Amino acid sequence: MARTSYPKHEIRILLLEGISQNAVEQFRAAGYSRIDQFDKSLPEDELRRQVADAHFIGIRSRTQLTAEVLGEARRLLAVGCFCIGTSQVDLDAAERLGIPVFNAPYSNTRSVAELVVAEAIMLMRGIPRKNAACHRGGWEKSAAGSHEARGKTIGIVGYGHIGTQVGLIAENLGMRVLFHDIEAKLALGNARPVDSLDSLLEQSDVVTLHVPETPATRLMIGEPQLSRMRRGSHLINASRGSVVDIEALAAALRSGHLGGTAVDVFPVEPKGNDDVFESPLAGIDNALLTPHIGGSTLEAQDNIGLEVAAKLVRYSDNGSTLSAVNFPEVTLPEHTGSRRLLHIHRNVPGMMSRVNGIFSQRNVNIDGQYLRTHPEVGYVVIDVDASEEQATELKEELAAIDGTLRTRILY
Ligand SMILES: NC(=O)C1=CN([C@@H]2O[C@H](COP(=O)(O)OP(=O)(O)OC[C@H]3O[C@@H](n4cnc5c(N)ncnc54)[C@H](O)[C@@H]3O)[C@@H](O)[C@H]2O)C=CC1
Ligand SMILES: O=C(O)C(=O)COP(=O)(O)O
């Protein structure tokens, strides 16, 4: 097993929110044994305590890694979001601290898309309300308000990985597919772009949201947008709870303007399965509520576990930041036969001449050098022909350069 700057058994990996055992097995197979697991997200004070001596942390969508929490994680080398969304991490703060953040951009895409299309069918048949009535002894056998999906229009807001999958499956059911995105996107199948959100809302029988959480998507569906939707149409939100004004949605359902809704994500979600869920939508029969399980299939979770753990192991063992979401991406070959020095620094003028000056002064031969920069942060990896002792001294000299954020040696 390759040695890194720390003995692997001292590297502490903290996994929160019930991350798949596949991840644990992947870490163990790579020689990492100090793994602490929790099945829920932690209260902030406990989170601060736990991150203080963690080298890697794995989270899902619930754990908020704010600048303050990251600031206390002095040993943290990298963050793994074992999910798609990364808005729960202050990505800029992490970058400024020299901490790359990785995620699994596609592993649960299909799971979300399948759920959403199933919900679209359920909503168009009025199933949430009929189901609720049956549970109370009711019997609403009627075709009133029930429709086939075939020939109806689905409007997709955010035509990215999930949105395009939803569009393809919906089209196979015979639905007409419209989409709205802020970027120009290749329309798949017969899907058609619509130039404004309002126009999409006015034309759709079902609207489904697949945008990330950003300042621009915050409350993008409020009372004005809901009132533009067709009377009796349906809204699906499996994106983020912040995207929809949930009180306005509850009012639109109660007034009968909307036919139904399926909501998987909420402005406030319980930290774990033992906590109480409260929502203005609770008790509304035509609201199909799910506990943020769009990506919670065994297939998706197993794949995510493998994918994100592999990215963290690769960064730990090899230094590669390929596919980091917030960080200069460096792809690295194996470094057998040389010592590898990693230097993460503030991207200020003169940094590389100071870095390279250390090697020329000591007359150390550089076998390979890999540099990538972002406006604020630079990441340089230097493979050197040096003894372990020399490499340790070089690392100390690199660490002393003003503007250095993190240094590491891989033996
Ligand atoms: N319910 C669940 O369990 C899950 C929820 N998600 C959520 O779904 C979101 C989308 O996932 P992906 O499709 O993989 O992301 P993606 O990045 O592939 O697609 C997002 C699309 O939204 C577009 N977009 C961004 N801002 C927009 C705006 N203001 N108006 C219109 N379009 C806008 C982007 O240009 C992009 O095409 C994630 O960010 C995450 O929040 C993801 C996985 C599981
Ligand atoms: O992948 C995402 O962004 C999700 O929302 C899924 O989050 P989860 O891993 O189920 O907490």
Structural domain containing residue 10: 1-108+297-327
Task: Select from 234, 263, 289 the last residue of a domain.
Answer: 289
- Residue 8 CA to residue 300 CA, distance in Å, equals 28
Kindly report, residue by residue over 185-226, the tens digit of the pLDDT.
Answer: 999 999 999 999 999 999 999 999 999 999 999 999 999 999
Same domain? 176 vs 194? yes
The alpha carbon of 211 and the centre of ligand 1 are apart by a number of angstroms equal to 3
> Total domain count for the chain?
3
Question: Which one of 59, 84, 219, 304 would you pick to mutate in the ligand 1 pocket, going by the greatest count of ligand atoms within 8 A of its CB?
Answer: 84
Same domain? 266 vs 118? yes
Same domain? 114 vs 248? yes
Same domain? 180 vs 273? yes
Ligand 1 atom closest to 210 (CA)? 10
pLDDT of residue 3: 47
pLDDT of residue 2: 43
Ligand 2 atom closest to 301 (CA)? 9
Q: Judge whether residue 266 has pLDDT over 60.
A: yes
Same domain? 196 vs 273? yes
- Residue 236 CA to residue 149 CA, distance in Å, equals 15
pLDDT of residue 6: 76
- CB-defined site of ligand 1, < 6 Å: 84-85, 108-109, 112, 157-163, 180-183, 210-214, 216-217, 238-240, 264-265, 292, 294-295
Computed over every residue of the chain, the mean pLDDT equals 96
Tell me what percent of the residues of the chain surpass a pLDDT of 90.
Answer: 95
Same domain? 369 vs 246? no
- CB-defined site of ligand 2, < 6 Å: 60-62, 83-85, 108, 292, 295-296
Same domain? 220 vs 313? no
Same domain? 119 vs 11? no
The alpha carbon of 125 and the centre of ligand 1 are apart by a number of angstroms equal to 27
Task: Select from 233, 261, 289 the last residue of a domain.
Answer: 289
Same domain? 308 vs 185? no
* Least distant ligand from the CA of 242: 1
Same domain? 39 vs 142? no
Residue 289's CB: how many other CB atoms inside 10 A?
A: 16
Residue ID of nearest Cα to ligand 1 atom 17: 160
Residue ID of nearest Cα to ligand 1 atom 7: 239
Residue 72 is part of a domain; what is its CATH number?
3.40.50.720
pTM here? 0.95
- Residue 153 CA to residue 170 CA, distance in Å, equals 9
Same domain? 216 vs 342? no
The alpha carbon of 156 and the centre of ligand 1 are apart by a number of angstroms equal to 11
The pLDDT confidence band at residue 4, using thresholds 50, 70 and 90, is: low
Same domain? 76 vs 39? yes
The alpha carbon of 84 and the centre of ligand 2 are apart by a number of angstroms equal to 6
Residue 364 is part of a domain; what is its CATH number?
3.30.70.260
The alpha carbon of 160 and the centre of ligand 2 are apart by a number of angstroms equal to 16
Q: Judge whether residue 5 has pLDDT over 90.
A: no
Q: Judge whether residue 238 has pLDDT over 60.
A: yes
Mind telling me the catalytic residues? 240, 269, 292
- Span 370-381, mean pLDDT? 97
Task: Let me know: does 265 contact 291? Beta carbons within 8 Å.
Answer: no
pLDDT of residue 338: 84
